Structure 1
Amino acid sequence: MKNAELIFIPAPVRGHLISMVELAKLLISRNQSLSVTIFIMKFPYDTGVNSYIESLETNPIPRLAILEVPLSSSEAYKFESYYTMIPTFIDSHVTIVKNAVMAQPDRAVAALVLDVFCVSMIDMAKELNIPSYVYFTSGASYLGVLFHLQGLTDYENEDIYEYKDSDAELSVCCFNNRVPAKVLPAICLDEKGSQSLVADDKVPSVYAVGPNLNLTSARQNSDEVAEILKWLDGKPVSSVVFLCFGSFGSFTEVQGFGTREMKNAELIFVPAPAMGHLISMVELAKTLISRDESLSVTICIIKFPYDMGVTSYVESLSNNPTPRLSTLEIPPSDSESYKSQSHHTVFYNFMKSHVTNVRDQVVAMTRADQSTRIAAFILDIFAVSMIDMAKELNIPSYVYSTSGADYLGILLHLQAMKDYENKDMGEYKNPDAELSVPYFRNQVPAKVLPAMCLDQGGSEITLLWGRKFRETKGLIVNTFVELEAYVVESLMADDRIPPVYSVGPNLNLSSRGQDSDEAADILKWLDEKPLSSVVFLCFGTFGGFPEDQVKEIALALEHSGHPFLWSLRPVKKEGHLSKYTNLDDILPPGFLERTSGTGKIIGWAPQLAVLSHRAVGGFVSHCGWNSILESVWFGVPMATWPSYAEQQLNAFEMVSELGLAVDICMDYAHHGFSKCELIVEAEIIKSKINEVMKDGSDIRKRVAEIKGKSRAAVAENGSSYVNLGRLIEDILAT
């Protein structure tokens, strides 16, 4: 039986030649009956082929031979375009190659293996009654596009040249996504170059046999290579970026290395003037600039006429400056129309009254420093009125939700129902109504919707929010995928919503408020308590209760048998943070004496320091989102007692959707904002406290598990770490 001879005909380009030689080596190593002759066509000028052929001849391989094909006398290829030069050069060698094949009649030529540029030799192979195969040194994606474009031309009579310099997209059967015309190889849309496309009635068998790489010759033996490798040896693992653009990969001087200084990307943060919103945005800013040295952040500070704790916090930022993070105080607006608004709309309208002032300050900042390139606005949810201003300045905007993805999902869903389905939001004022929301596993009771969404003035604003969210470049959320997986993944799957970046938890862990004498006294008291024995009650900035409710809470704590730390504050009056002057006036008679050994009542609480203390085993919370994240971070189970804003929705998610909390009164709606008060009885409160404090409960186990996931999310390669990287890439791509 004669051995089977394969004749390989590569294009005279180094990358094509090496790949075909590696395929030849693989074939003959797999089957002893195969031998290969590689026909070498050479350009009159060297393309790197000569030295490679010499290396093959110096290190011969059994059953692999080299045959140099005489140069054609035709010089027609010299007058062709860049795209057709190689095919024309090869066409001029068809007769020479045919004669070379016929000159060896004693050989049983089993097949010609042709480079994609050598398809003009297929007819010659047919004349010699020898089968031919085309070897594609590029990927299957390019092969698929060639077949598709040929099909459009021959079977659908479509003019493919219309795609040249267009924004069109093609639906190509071998791609998952639509293919932009601008990424098609230029040869495909060049009138002459496109004539080299495959033109056959059907696609023959396809054999994926790669990667075919010349791994045995890494060209490490020269002095030049030795110097390069020595330099690399001195660098840390995976630290070097390598730039290499192939044999023809040169650039113009403008595109190449220059001395121009690239402008840093400046981000303008516009938080709402509330501590929870401001701190969360500052922590996001710190995280961004720590990840990328080309970023700097300016935080616009807008202050209410009365202090909400913002002034002292901004002073602390100034006293402990962070590189590339600055604050910009926005002058107060002359408008006071926000004062006549309902409590549901006052924040939004206050921020709206400052749009012009923010714009003027930002424009002045850029004029003062020409090196500043504002890459994006990062806007608080209450600052969406500034999206249009950002558009006027031709600056993209992102909305940052200091609340969870659950609230974001509800706002978008209610807006979609109103605008796309013409639903009346009024029907959800019925407390027994339930909504089917695509971002929640369970039906959502209408009674846990934020009151603002159903209030006549507030609902118009929340609908506006949903509309404006869709106009942004992205939605950033202070959450992490592992906590709100269903909501986040559902939002990301909705193609009507901009990209969602879950980048939390963003917590100010470096300042736990434990340096004051008051905090030191609290922590000393906790130090004396057993592990996970104390129930901590804290209800946020607005978390005051009427006296009747205070008494019920006190009785519940006394009869629960657990040590307690209770942040007890009056119902907040406008512009004032206060504390009780005489606790005996509001607590049950003798309560302080009876609980003096087990309980401690405080005003302000250093919440982070308390939650991180080993003695704290349960947290009765108003379910502000920052408090939820802090509770999760430190692995402290919660009993939910929401009262306003989106807190009821947060409580529903934590209890019903995630099983990470127990509820005391999930629909304790509008407290502090309504004349209609609901009093929760002591027996119910006691029962729920005992449930959340139970050792070894399923909730305690789940909270311990999510604690670990919260920390992993922000660690290197964690979900939030990766999403923050995606966000930075998107910002810098602008």
Structure 2
Amino acid sequence: MGTAADDVCVVMVPLPAQGHLNQLLQLSCLISSYGLPVHYVGSAIHNNQARVRANGLDPKKLATVHFHDLPLPDFDCPSPNPNASVRFPAHLQPAFDASKLLRHPIAAVLRDLAAKARRVVIIHDSLMALVVQDVESISNAESYAFNCLSVFSLLSFLSNGLGNQIAIEEEEMPRENLTEGCMTESFAMFIEAHKEYQKLRGGDIHNTNRLIEGQFIDLFEKDGYVEKMKQWFIGPILPGMIISSKEQNPCLAWLDKQPQNSVLFVSFGTMTSMSDEEVRELAMGLELSKHRFLWVLRDADKGNIFSGKSRRIELPEGFEERVKGVGLVVRDWAPQPEILSHRATGGFMSHCGWNSCMESITLGVPMAAWPMHSDQPMNSFLVARILKTGLIVREWGKRGEVVKSWAIENVVRRLMGSEEGDEIRKKAQELGETIRKSAQEGGVSRMELDSFIAHITR
């Protein structure tokens, strides 16, 4: 028998949404650095999306990942609705539903690999359990769910369902229900459809860290929220060295000219569409704050990012002229880890998707938290109220109201130009350093990853 690396292969099965594609691609590079062959399996469209947006990853490591580009029947690809009352990206539902059709092509890939390897290890997004259910019929295959959420969010969803309250010792509980109005009914049904197949997994991997969420991880492990399954908390999965792309992005060249910690990075991820009114108020708030900013202004991704044009979002007349030299508006894809790790970046106004939170926490950047949907209300509470490395722009209970320019100006000034902001920044930088160390040789997060690798190569 050969070495473990010869006879164990790892298969990644992501959910086709940017934050999920990206986390599993980062994990692919991490696992492949242990000398294990890694296969990244998905539709040709979404694999391509993952590749063209591989931010900050080492091209050499990326080259070791084997992509399996599977055909997917055409699916509806509507534009996002910036005026929807629930902000969840309902326009992506056809792409999520279409992903269920990958079940048989993925099973064929698994059987093919299983014929050659001693063991096939499937790491699937927890919302792709239904798609990998055939793992059960392959004797030398085993599967693990990868959770793209914070444990605090998981507990919030679970305890909401179980009718319990999470006990937070020194913190008051959020006064509002953070899980209310955070997703559509059809997405809740999509989650439900995976439930029975999640029982087939052999354990869970989490993109979080005991030093960030220790109290919630303890609760999660001891209160019977998970059947006695193995759990590994291996975050951050961000590469230790953020590699800047060769053809340097113009926004990085602009950041090079700015003073240290002076720029507020503004980005609401790939699954949020803002209404024209919200964009206007945000533009005015940024301008009034008189602080430097780099604003990525894009509409939410469509189910197929390569199809058709996206809406061009209008800014107030003359805005870009007036803020010249102080602010930069970017309308293309922007390399977020490189921006967050830049010395000029001193704050991050974000929707608080978990990917963005983990990048911000790891790179030591404080946040102006503005949750829109999904797990974001929980994440923003975790960052601002529990870790105290951020400020809340808008409370979740007021999600139906448009945030006014004066409120935005106020938060930007507090975060970027006050003693309170300096304190928060210092706390964020200290936490970031601790978290980065935890991912190095001998650190708590690295030891959990080592333990997972030892387990799958046993």
What TM-score comes out, normalization by structure 1 length?
A: 0.54
1:163-242 matches, cutoff 5 A: none
In structure 2, the partner of 1:591 is 319
1:236-315 matches, cutoff 5 A: 260-261=1-2, 264-291=7-34, 293=35, 295-304=36-45, 309-310=49-50, 312=52
In structure 1, the partner of 2:347 is 618
In structure 2, the partner of 1:522 is 251
* 1-structure distance, mates of 2:321, 2:59: 43
How far the C-alpha of 1:563 sits from its partner, in A, is 1.3
In structure 2, the partner of 1:202 is none
Q: 2:273 aligns with which of 539, 544, 552?
A: 544
Matching of residue 710 in structure 1 with residue 453 in structure 2: no
> CA contact under 8 A between 1:387 and 1:472: conserved in structure 2?
no
In structure 1, the partner of 2:114 is 366
Q: 1:359 to 1:282 in 2, by over 3 A?
A: same
User: Match for 1:720: what amino acid?
Assistant: S
> CA contact under 8 A between 1:397 and 1:473: conserved in structure 2?
yes
> CA contact under 8 A between 1:620 and 1:639: conserved in structure 2?
yes
Cα deviation code 1:670-712 (max 9, x no counterpart): 8xxxxxx631100111111112114553322221121111111
Percent identity, aligned pairs only, is 25
* 2-structure distance, mates of 1:463, 1:657: 30
1:150-161 matches, cutoff 5 A: none
Q: Provide the secondary structure at the position in 2 that maps to 1:309.
A: helix
How far the C-alpha of 1:526 sits from its partner, in A, is 1.9
Q: How many residues align?
A: 436
Q: 1:357 to 1:452 in 2, by over 3 A?
A: farther
* 2-structure distance, mates of 1:561, 1:325: 45
> CA contact under 8 A between 2:350 and 2:369: conserved in structure 1?
yes
* 1-structure distance, mates of 2:65, 2:165: 43
Matching of residue 688 in structure 1 with residue 411 in structure 2: yes
Cα deviation code 1:455-476 (max 9, x no counterpart): 4433344345555545421110
In structure 2, the partner of 1:410 is 156
> CA contact under 8 A between 1:568 and 1:602: conserved in structure 2?
yes
Matching of residue 657 in structure 1 with residue 403 in structure 2: no
Q: 1:377 to 1:307 in 2, by over 3 A?
A: closer
User: Match for 1:309: what amino acid?
Assistant: Q
* 2-structure distance, mates of 1:402, 1:500: 14
Q: Provide the secondary structure at the position in 1 that maps to 2:10.
A: strand
Matching of residue 449 in structure 1 with residue 179 in structure 2: yes
User: Match for 2:323: what amino acid?
Assistant: T
User: Match for 1:588: what amino acid?
Assistant: P
* 2-structure distance, mates of 1:610, 1:656: 25
> CA contact under 8 A between 1:557 and 1:564: conserved in structure 2?
yes
In structure 2, the partner of 1:719 is 444
Q: 1:603 aligns with which of 319, 331, 356?
A: 331
Gaps (5+ residues) in structure 1?
1-259, 418-422, 424-434, 671-676
User: Match for 1:556: what amino acid?
Assistant: G
In angstroms, what is the RMSD of aligned CA positions?
A: 3.4
Cα deviation code 1:306-361 (max 9, x no counterpart): 898236358x99974657632222232x585999x955754543332211111012
> CA contact under 8 A between 1:450 and 1:645: conserved in structure 2?
no
In structure 2, the partner of 1:507 is 238
* 2-structure distance, mates of 1:356, 1:651: 38
In structure 2, the partner of 1:117 is none
> CA contact under 8 A between 2:265 and 2:349: conserved in structure 1?
yes
Gaps (5+ residues) in structure 2?
79-88
Cα deviation code 1:599-655 (max 9, x no counterpart): 111112222222122221111111121211221222111101121222222112212
> CA contact under 8 A between 1:612 and 1:634: conserved in structure 2?
yes
> CA contact under 8 A between 2:176 and 2:396: conserved in structure 1?
no
* 2-structure distance, mates of 1:355, 1:567: 36
In structure 2, the partner of 1:66 is none
> CA contact under 8 A between 1:509 and 1:608: conserved in structure 2?
no
Q: 1:317 to 1:354 in 2, by over 3 A?
A: farther
> CA contact under 8 A between 2:367 and 2:391: conserved in structure 1?
yes
User: Match for 2:347: what amino acid?
Assistant: G
1:286-435 matches, cutoff 5 A: 286-291=29-34, 293=35, 295-304=36-45, 309-310=49-50, 312=52, 320=60, 325-332=65-72, 334=73, 343=91, 345-346=93-94, 348-367=96-115, 370=116, 372-394=117-139, 395-415=141-161, 417=162
* 2-structure distance, mates of 1:587, 1:378: 42
In structure 2, the partner of 1:137 is none
> CA contact under 8 A between 2:240 and 2:436: conserved in structure 1?
no
Of structures 1 and 2, the one scoring higher in RCO (CA 8 A, sep 6+) is 2
* 2-structure distance, mates of 1:452, 1:335: 28
* 2-structure distance, mates of 1:560, 1:592: 15
* 1-structure distance, mates of 2:385, 2:25: 31
* 2-structure distance, mates of 1:721, 1:481: 11
Q: 1:321 to 1:599 in 2, by over 3 A?
A: closer
How far the C-alpha of 1:302 sits from its partner, in A, is 2.2
Q: 1:438 to 1:462 in 2, by over 3 A?
A: farther
In structure 2, the partner of 1:80 is none
Cα deviation code 1:350-384 (max 9, x no counterpart): 332211111012213334xx3x1234211112211
Q: 1:678 aligns with which of 401, 404, 415?
A: 401
How far the C-alpha of 1:438 sits from its partner, in A, is 5.4
> CA contact under 8 A between 2:47 and 2:69: conserved in structure 1?
no
> CA contact under 8 A between 1:308 and 1:575: conserved in structure 2?
no
> CA contact under 8 A between 1:652 and 1:666: conserved in structure 2?
no
In structure 1, the partner of 2:360 is 631
User: Match for 1:392: what amino acid?
Assistant: S
